[in-house]
């Protein structure tokens, strides 16, 4: 081994890493599977605010639980087909949320929020059924909805979608949140994967 290589190894070994959250020397180091290191307290605060994902690379290292209020998810299968999927029927998903009072996980704890009912559609084929099962897992982990401001109406303190896109129309294309949209199932699986659902 040449001297230069040995010097590099020694200097690497003596470098103290700073926590990417507080930017100070790491105290009670916690190392994630992605190899990023943090102060124990900093990582705990990050988990409480962002969920169990790495603050640097967003790699999910545990079960992420969202801020979705109490509600139900039901489904039924229909023989009618969606535009772009003439060979199969349709899975119809019904989400229902009663009005309630916001918790500490929501923007205005103790304040009333308005509930909602939403309907979504998937093709009743192998990939559609796979996405349906993934959506059920995401619902159980409280990831599909949240309480906040509606992006479409601007209404505050209501149950609204939470970054996992759904098709709420059977037609009209992607501009109308409907079909046909040949890339939708792939996109929604990627959105779910980013939240640790795969």
pLDDT of residue 76: 97
Q: Return the DSSP state at 73.
A: E
Three-state SS for 124-160 is CCHHHHHHHHHHHHHHHCCCCEEEECCCCCCCCCEEE
Residue 69 pLDDT > 80: yes
Mapped onto helix, strand or coil, the DSSP state of residue 29 is strand
3-state helix vs strand vs coil in the chain, percent to 5: 25, 25, 50
Same fold, 3-50 and 72-193: no
Domain ranges of the chain: 3-50, 72-193
pLDDT of residue 99: 96
Q: What is the pLDDT of residues 34-63, one digit of tens each?
A: 889 999 999 988 887 777 778 888 777 767
For the question of whether the overall pTM of this predicted structure is more than 0.85, the answer is: no
Q: Which CATH superfamily is domain 3-50 in?
A: Zinc/RING finger domain, C3HC4 (zinc finger) (3.30.40.10)
Beta strand residue intervals within the chain, DSSP E: 29-31, 37-39, 72-78, 90-97, 100-101, 112-113, 116-123, 145-148, 158-161
* CATH placement of domain 72-193: 3.30.390.130
Q: What is the pLDDT of residues 138-188, one digit of tens each?
A: 999 999 999 999 888 888 999 999 989 999 999 999 888 999 999 999 999
Q: Return the DSSP state at 99.
A: -
Q: Return the DSSP state at 114.
A: B
pLDDT of residue 16: 61
Q: What is the pLDDT of residues 94-152, one digit of tens each?
A: 999 999 999 988 889 999 999 999 999 999 999 999 999 999 999 999 999 999 998 88
Cβ atoms of residues 123 and 90 within 8 Å = yes
């Amino acid at each position: 081994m040449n001297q230069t290589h040995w010097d590099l190894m020694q200097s690497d070994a003596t470098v103290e890493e700073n926590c990417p959250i507080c930017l100070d020397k790491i105290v009670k180091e916690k190392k994630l599977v992605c190899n990023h290191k943090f102060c124990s307290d900093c990582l705990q605060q990050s988990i409480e605010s962002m969920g169990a994902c790495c603050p640097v690379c967003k790699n999910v290292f545990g079960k992420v639980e969202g801020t979705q209020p109490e509600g139900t998810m039901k489904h039924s299968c229909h023989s009618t087909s969606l535009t772009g999927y003439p060979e199969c029927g349709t899975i119809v998903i019904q989400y229902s949320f009663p009005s309630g009072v916001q918790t500490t996980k929501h923007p205005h704890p103790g304040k009333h929020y308005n509930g909602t009912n939403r309907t979504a559609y998937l093709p009743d084929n192998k990939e559609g059924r796979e996405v349906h099962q993934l959506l059920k897992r995401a619902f159980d982990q409280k990831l599909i909805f949240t309480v906040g401001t509606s992006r479409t109406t601007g209404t505050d303190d209501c149950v609204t979608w939470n970054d996992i896109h759904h098709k709420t129309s059977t037609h009209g294309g992607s501009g109308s949140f409907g079909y046909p949209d040949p890339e939708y199932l792939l996109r929604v699986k990627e959105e779910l994967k980013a939240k640790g659902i795969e």
